[in-house]
Amino acid sequence: MTDLYAVMGDPIEHSRSPKIHAAFAKQTQQDMSYEKIHVPLDQFKSAIKKFRTAGGMGLNITLPLKTAAFELCDKLTSRALQAGAVNTIIFHSNYLLGDNTDGIGLVNDLKHKDVTLKNKRILIIGASGAARGVIQPILDESPDVLHIANRTKRKADILYEQFQNITASSLSDCPENFDVVINATSTSLQNTVPEIKKTIFEKNACAYDMVYGDKQTSFQRWAIENGAKKTFDGFGMLVEQAAESFFLWRGVRPSLDVLQV
């Protein structure tokens, strides 16, 4: 019997996760299927129950459901606890185990793109579950500064209190001149950009948008217009975190070198 997996989110139509996991399954000869399921936040708990009843064995969780997934899981890994958010659920016979592979996915993708984090000034825009998931893995790379800027400073301050080795501000009070700027908001899905000052980019800055699409995101375009030297979207992060999720579910680590999606 084919093992069932899926990704849940709202919106979900843009997700490339099914193609990625289909490629991983073919490469590693795993008998499994993977689909995308549109789930509004108020239907999340019932959607998980329905999927599990249908024989589902694991889920990926995307915006805006990651913090809700954290609350719903029975057990949590240390990565999920640090993040306060879950993007990967493993179904066990009598409990749900929540993990977070976003941070390692982002850091691995940046490394593969030759973007150094050590001793750099790094800015994360946004304080949602997407931001939470990447803070500790970035701190583990020993940046000079890791700053969180959010529309409401209160949310950024919550992360400051949790992680401490960071600084925090509202978007309007954000400092300037960062080497790496990471957009952890979903603004690009609406073809807009965060309301933040244009001086956040250092001369040779790298801009990274966690959102991805068929062409440059609105944040990428805005970053180039305002001084960023290079930009990337979040597709590489998606692939890297997917590989980690696949390993957690199947016990096999797929090779990314031959991935064609």
Mean pLDDT of 16-28: 95
Q: By the 8 A CB rule, do 78 and 104 touch?
A: no
Which has the closest alpha carbon to 180: 78, 106, 88, 253?
106
pLDDT number for residue 14: 84
- Tell me the pLDDT tens digit for each residue of 120-144: 999 999 998 789 889 999 999 999 9
Specify if 177 maps to a domain: yes
* Secondary element (H or E) of residue 206: strand 201-209
Q: By the 8 A CB rule, do 261 and 212 touch?
A: no
Whether residue 113 is found in the same domain as residue 202: yes
State the average pLDDT for the chain. 95
Which has the closest alpha carbon to 50: 85, 91, 1, 12?
91
Which amino acid is present at 10? D
pLDDT number for residue 64: 87
Whether residue 186 is found in the same domain as residue 199: yes
Q: By the 8 A CB rule, do 214 and 67 touch?
A: no
Whether residue 11 is found in the same domain as residue 128: no
The answer, yes or no, to whether residue 246 has pLDDT greater than 80, is yes
Whether residue 111 is found in the same domain as residue 95: no
Please state, in angstroms and rounded to a whole number, the distance separating the CA atoms of residues 208 and 231.
Answer: 6
- Total domains in the fold of the chain: 2
Which amino acid is present at 147? H
Whether residue 12 is found in the same domain as residue 134: no
Sequence length of the chain is: 261
- Tell me the pLDDT tens digit for each residue of 89-105: 999 999 999 999 999 99
Question: In terms of residue numbers, what domain contains 136?
Answer: 103-233
If you write DSSP's letter for every residue of 35-47 in order, what string do you get? EEEE--GGGHHHH
pLDDT number for residue 157: 97
75 CB-side CA count, 13 A: 9
- Tell me the pLDDT tens digit for each residue of 2-12: 999 999 999 99
CA dihedral 57, 62, 66, 71 (to 10 degrees): -30
Identify whether 18 is preceded by a cis peptide bond (ω within 30 of 0): no
More confident residue, 2 or 258: 2
Whether residue 92 is found in the same domain as residue 146: no
Please state, in angstroms and rounded to a whole number, the distance separating the CA atoms of residues 188 and 136.
Answer: 24
Whether residue 112 is found in the same domain as residue 85: no
pLDDT number for residue 257: 75
The answer, yes or no, to whether residue 197 has pLDDT greater than 90, is yes
Please state, in angstroms and rounded to a whole number, the distance separating the CA atoms of residues 49 and 169.
Answer: 39
pLDDT number for residue 129: 79
To which residue do tokens 């199947």 refer?
250
- Tell me the pLDDT tens digit for each residue of 29-60: 999 999 999 999 999 999 999 999 999 999 99
pLDDT band for position 179 (cuts 50, 70, 90): very high
Whether residue 22 is found in the same domain as residue 113: no
Please state, in angstroms and rounded to a whole number, the distance separating the CA atoms of residues 204 and 121.
Answer: 12
The answer, yes or no, to whether residue 24 has pLDDT greater than 70, is yes
Concerning whether 49 is annotated as a catalytic residue, the answer is: no
Whether residue 90 is found in the same domain as residue 133: no
Specify if 97 maps to a domain: yes
pLDDT number for residue 259: 66
* Secondary element (H or E) of residue 23: helix 17-28
pLDDT number for residue 130: 84
Whether residue 17 is found in the same domain as residue 30: yes
Q: By the 8 A CB rule, do 148 and 127 touch?
A: yes
Q: Please identify which of the residues 19, 45, 66, 155 carries the catalytic annotation.
A: 66
